[in-house]
Amino acid sequence: MTSVLRSVVTGVGGYLPERVVTNDDLAKFVDTSDEWIVERTGIRQRHQVADDQPVSDLAVAAARRALAAAGRTPDDVDLIIVATTTADLTFPSVATIVQRKLGCPVGIAFDVQAVCSGFVYALSVADGFTARGRSKCALVIGAETMTRLMDWTDRGTCVLFGDGAGAVVVEPMAGEGTTADRGLLGFALRADGTKQDLLYVDGGPSTNGQVGKLRMQGNQVFRHAVVNISEAVTAAAADAGIEIASVDWFVPHQANLRILQGVARRLGIDEHKVITTLDQHANTSAASIPLALDQGVRDGRIKPGQMLLLEAMGGGLTWGACVLRL
């Protein structure tokens, strides 16, 4: 067996803002109903940030929990990657703000912008450092305040999103180069910029100077989702050299229950192996996968040594999947 350096997830943490907004709360000011939202999406409630809460605060709270779970401190961290589409400021990155707030030493810190696919992209980027011995302790965070991008008069989008953050600690460990190794074992990342009009925000620093609001042709995005995600999952499994049937838990991006069920059906995945949080969290974009991972680990379903498959699709369009053994 050859000895290889693997990027191993050694700690997971999550944070959700205190304020809970139910479907009935939304129905008080937008023409919708709990029944419609639950039937079409599976969402029952979402968390929403306080007015004075920047996304970096969510990221810091999740990061502290992930570090504690890994038995590490901010002093150990030499790399911070934040996947977000809702930064505190146009610059600097959320990652450098997190570095300052946590009190980490000088190291590497930057954001990754791939919208809902951001966490999978960020894990792959982190792997490029950790598996080459260029980082000894990385924080990979997905953090979003998507409710700040909502047009609260658009019932087709404002009912779908929530706020939150999830984080993992990634550390290098020697493996044997087999699928029995712990660590990030395979990836498939995709982007198709020709589909921008299906899902975007109508503002930005280099166009109109505004933050903008999220615009989506939901049914068109839905149509691409099942096919695209299934292809990426299959490719990531092949990249890792595993059979999809050998995966213990699917930890998907939480956009719509019908998408999760469609992907599971297409790939022959037992629905009991799918971690679902969207009923409680709604779509938290780049935060949804690490939040779902945190939920599964904390409630004891996901155990060390198990094989996980993460997948996501979002604005860009971007999509991707990752195979990891915890």
Q: Does 314 bind ligand ACO (CB under 6 A)?
A: yes
Q: Does 43 bind ligand ACO (CB under 6 A)?
A: no
Q: Does 40 bind ligand ACO (CB under 6 A)?
A: yes
Which of residues 48, 124, 135, 256 is near ligand ACO by CB under 6 A?
256
Q: Does 96 bind ligand ACO (CB under 6 A)?
A: no
Minimum CB separation of residue 261 from ligand ACO in Å reads 12
Q: Does 199 bind ligand ACO (CB under 6 A)?
A: yes
Hunting for tokens 């998408």 — which residue is that? 259
Q: What is the DSSP letter of 61?
A: H
CA distances from 325 to 73, 230, 232, 305 (A): 23, 20, 18, 6
The residue (of 124 and 285) whose beta carbon lies closer to ligand ACO is 285
User: Catalytic: 283?
Assistant: yes
Q: Does 276 bind ligand ACO (CB under 6 A)?
A: no
User: Catalytic: 47?
Assistant: no
The residue (of 69 and 123) whose beta carbon lies closer to ligand ACO is 123
User: Catalytic: 116?
Assistant: yes
The residue (of 120 and 313) whose beta carbon lies closer to ligand ACO is 313
Q: Does 44 bind ligand ACO (CB under 6 A)?
A: no
Would strands 163-175 and 183-191 be described as parallel, antiparallel, or unpaired? unpaired
The residue (of 115 and 131) whose beta carbon lies closer to ligand ACO is 115
Size of the site for ligand ACO (CB under 6 A): 24
Which of residues 41, 86, 135, 230 is near ligand ACO by CB under 6 A?
41
Coil/strand/helix, residue 83? strand
Tokens of 32: 């919708």
Nearest 5 degrees, angle CA 170-CA 175-CA 180?
Answer: 100
Q: Packing angle between helix 94-102 and helix 55-70, nearest 10 degrees?
A: 60
Number of residues in the chain: 326
Q: Does 282 bind ligand ACO (CB under 6 A)?
A: no
Q: Does 110 bind ligand ACO (CB under 6 A)?
A: no
Q: Does 23 bind ligand ACO (CB under 6 A)?
A: no
List of residues 6+ apart from 13 with CB closer than 8 A: 62, 63, 64, 65, 66, 67, 68, 69, 166, 167, 168, 294
Are the C-beta atoms of residues 308 and 182 closer than 8 Å to each other? no
Minimum CB separation of residue 218 from ligand ACO in Å reads 3
Q: Does 315 bind ligand ACO (CB under 6 A)?
A: yes
Comparing CA positions, the residue from 115, 119, 51 lying closest to residue 82 is: 119
Residue 199's H or E segment, with its range, is strand 199-201
Catalytic hit among 23, 253, 256, 322: 253
The residue (of 41 and 96) whose beta carbon lies closer to ligand ACO is 41
Rounded-to-integer distance, Cα 164 and Cα 180, Å: 32
Are the C-beta atoms of residues 70 and 171 closer than 8 Å to each other? yes
Q: What is the DSSP letter of 212?
A: -
Tell me how far apart the terminal alpha carbons of the chain are, to the nearest angstrom: 21
Rounded-to-integer distance, Cα 211 and Cα 202, Å: 8
Q: Does 194 bind ligand ACO (CB under 6 A)?
A: no
Minimum CB separation of residue 264 from ligand ACO in Å reads 15
| Residues of span 147-166 touching ligand ACO by CB under 6 A | 155-156, 159
Q: Does 32 bind ligand ACO (CB under 6 A)?
A: yes
- Dihedral sign, Cα of residue 209, residue 211, residue 217, residue 220: positive
Q: Does 212 bind ligand ACO (CB under 6 A)?
A: no
Q: Which residues bind ligand ACO (CB under 6 A)?
A: 32, 36-37, 40-41, 115-116, 155-156, 159, 199, 218-219, 221-222, 225, 255-256, 259, 283, 285, 313-315
The catalytic site residues sit at 116, 253, 283
